[in-house]
Chains A and B, each alone.
Chain A
Amino acid sequence: MKKAVSVMVLVAVAALTIFCFGSVASAGEEIKMVGVITKIDIAGKDAKTATATLKDNKTEQLVVITVEDDLTLDKFKDHRIVEGDEIRCKYEVIDGKNVSKLFRKTAGC
């Protein structure tokens, strides 16, 4: 009986640890990445949202970022940010979408 309780406690502690420190992104958590833009989708000059697909430098995974801030949208529209640019990005998972909180080119002069 004692052994069973110990096992259950251990399992509970392990589950709690994973829940608290797990690397899986959850809503409200800010995730950082640096990656190169492989694709930008924006619907016209008046678009209020766009998506940019970034190839994560560390994992080489493709991550689709939803961009909603006016400054970055404007940079997509006038092509100050284009495919091939390397981006430093912070995003949050909101309703299943990776919503950009910071989206900047790493390069400068």
Chain B
Amino acid sequence: MSKIRVTAAVFCLALAATTALAAGAHPGKESIEKSGYKGPETCEECHPGSAKGFLDTVHWKHASKVTNVDGLNPKEEYGMKNRIYVMCNGNDIVNNLKEIPKSPVTGKSKFSGCNTCHPGNHLSDVGSTGAAAEAAVDCLVCHSTDYDFRQRKPFKNEKGEVVMGQDRSVKAALAIGKPTVKNCMVCHEAAGGGVIVKRGFTFTRETDAHAAKGLVCVDCHKAKNHKMPTGHDPNNWANDGVFVSCADTSCHGVKPHKDADLNRHCAKIACQTCHIPRTGGAFAKDFTVWEQTPDKFYEPTTLKKEANETAPVYAWYNGTVKNTPHFIGPKGSKKDGKSKITPFKIFQGKAYYNKQTGELLSMDFAQPMSDGDTRAGVLSAAKTLGLKNPEKIAKEAVPGWQTIYFGSNHLVTKTKALYCANCHAPNGVLNFKDLGYTDKEILKLTSPELFMEKLAKKQKEDW
């Protein structure tokens, strides 16, 4: 009898779950309404092991082993946890979330830190493990469409520790599901110091062909066990070991065009080259001189453009990365058999270098944000990292520039994609000389002979 009851109960639960899924709703709402939402513990009732698994992802660790970048220790993990480069110049370690010194003008302070976006509660922070860390995961910030962001603010607890608040309300928990564009953009939109600054794109119907089709971020960045596939951006080092590919058979395949000539290009030309002809965002930043903002705090001086307002640079890229104190960018060549011509968003940043070693130094933003004293930021970071003679290093630090090639992987267009004459012309977007072609090859590559017949036919069809 009891066996029949159990079977019936399981059947009913399965039926309820199937019905909820069919209706587009996330199952389990009745349970949440009845028992309340207690954080990951509630999610784990249906998704056992998720919280522990999440602690082993880049979203939690902000780092991973990196195998394609010059000069890194293959046994160490790298990412925004510990990297030093000129888009951010700080990192989770030196620029840990904290209350900055009071502004000498207003006497006011505020909370600031690179790990503000970390989906924990700051007590369990970047890379933490164990039961407390599992319980601290903010599942809803990524999975709820009704999250109240007034709750997700840093505050000091009774012990004086800085805690990141979370919305763990039943209301937010009842709106769970697959992450929407909004969920991702909560953090990714304003990375690097403001909206569009770092990546230089918006993901809207107007700016991206995938968004126009109704796709959301996780349709391409399709996570499995919270391991998030990413592209091969020369400046996005940490990864979960899984990668996005346009040529995935469930997406565009290896022969995505009806035209065989275009498909032939896929061997040497990255999809992005033709389908992402524009980029945007910050193109220069100065961490040695901070500007005072109307609230009398300071921010690094930043020059930026809107999405679609700048032209990319093109280079051969084989997936490996040159990494020096003054350059981070693609490696590859016309001849290596692995590289493709790929577009990049170019960015140049000015920061302090170690006079003795020539290495790029990092900065704790607390002091410069308060009073603009950038060398004090270098001193604090040098102390945190345990560098020898930090006072000397900060005093003698030398300003210098680093150039970074960011991947340009969004702002996808079909209607405005580059076509034959956009590249194969003397005034085309590709600089064939810089790409390693001989004068004889360039003469051939920039002649209308290549496409005259095809484009004449197309022109007749279009009109």
Task: Report if A34-B191 is in contact (Cβ < 8 Å); known contacts: A78-B147, A79-B148, A82-B150.
Answer: no
Interface residues of B (CB under 8 A from A): 113-114, 116-117, 146-150, 182, 186-187, 190-195, 197, 204, 293-295
The residue in A74, A80, A105 that gathers the most chain B C-beta atoms within 10 A of its C-beta is A80
Contact in complex: B204, A71 (CB < 8 Å):
yes
Q: Which range contains the number of A residues in contact with the other chain?
A: 10 to 19
Contact in complex: A108, B150 (CB < 8 Å):
no
Interface check A49, CB cutoff 8 A: no
Contact in complex: A80, B191 (CB < 8 Å):
no
**Chain A residues in 8 Å Cβ range of B195:** 104-105, 108
Report the number of A-B residue pairs with Cβ-Cβ less than 8 Å: 45
Contact in complex: B194, A107 (CB < 8 Å):
yes
- B146 shortest CB reach to chain A, Å: 7
**Chain B residues in 8 Å Cβ range of A107:** 190, 194
Contact in complex: A78, B148 (CB < 8 Å):
yes
Partner pick for A108 among B149, B182, B197, B295, CB 8 A cutoff: B197
Can you list 15 A-B pairs, Cβ within 8 angstroms, ordered by A? A36-B294, A74-B182, A78-B147, A78-B149, A79-B148, A79-B149, A86-B295, A105-B194, A105-B195, A107-B190, A108-B190, A108-B195, A109-B114, A109-B116, A109-B187
**Chain B residues in 8 Å Cβ range of A105:** 190, 194-195
**Chain B residues in 8 Å Cβ range of A109:** 113-114, 116-117, 187, 190-193
* Alpha-carbon separation in the docked complex, A25 to B186 (Å): 34
- A40 shortest CB reach to chain B, Å: 12
Contact in complex: A80, B295 (CB < 8 Å):
no
Interface residues of A (CB under 8 A from B): 34, 36, 57, 71, 74, 78-80, 82, 86, 104-109
- B308 shortest CB reach to chain A, Å: 13
Task: Report if A106-B194 is in contact (Cβ < 8 Å); known contacts: A57-B294, A78-B147, A79-B150.
Answer: yes
Contact in complex: B149, A86 (CB < 8 Å):
no
**Chain B residues in 8 Å Cβ range of A74:** 182
Closest 9 CB pairs of A and B: A108-B190, A108-B194, A108-B193, A57-B294, A104-B195, A79-B150, A79-B149, A80-B149, A109-B116
* Alpha-carbon separation in the docked complex, A44 to B427 (Å): 53
**Chain A residues in 8 Å Cβ range of B147:** 78
* Alpha-carbon separation in the docked complex, A106 to B298 (Å): 12
**Chain B residues in 8 Å Cβ range of A34:** 294
Contact in complex: A108, B192 (CB < 8 Å):
yes
- A86 shortest CB reach to chain B, Å: 7
- B212 shortest CB reach to chain A, Å: 15
Task: Report if A78-B114 is in contact (Cβ < 8 Å); known contacts: A71-B204, A108-B193, A108-B197.
Answer: no
The residue in B191, B293, B294 that gathers the most chain A C-beta atoms within 10 A of its C-beta is B294
- A46 shortest CB reach to chain B, Å: 13
* Alpha-carbon separation in the docked complex, A53 to B213 (Å): 35
**Chain A residues in 8 Å Cβ range of B149:** 78-80, 82
* Alpha-carbon separation in the docked complex, A82 to B148 (Å): 11
Closest to B144 in A: A78
Closest to A55 in B: B294
- B179 shortest CB reach to chain A, Å: 14
* Alpha-carbon separation in the docked complex, A92 to B116 (Å): 34
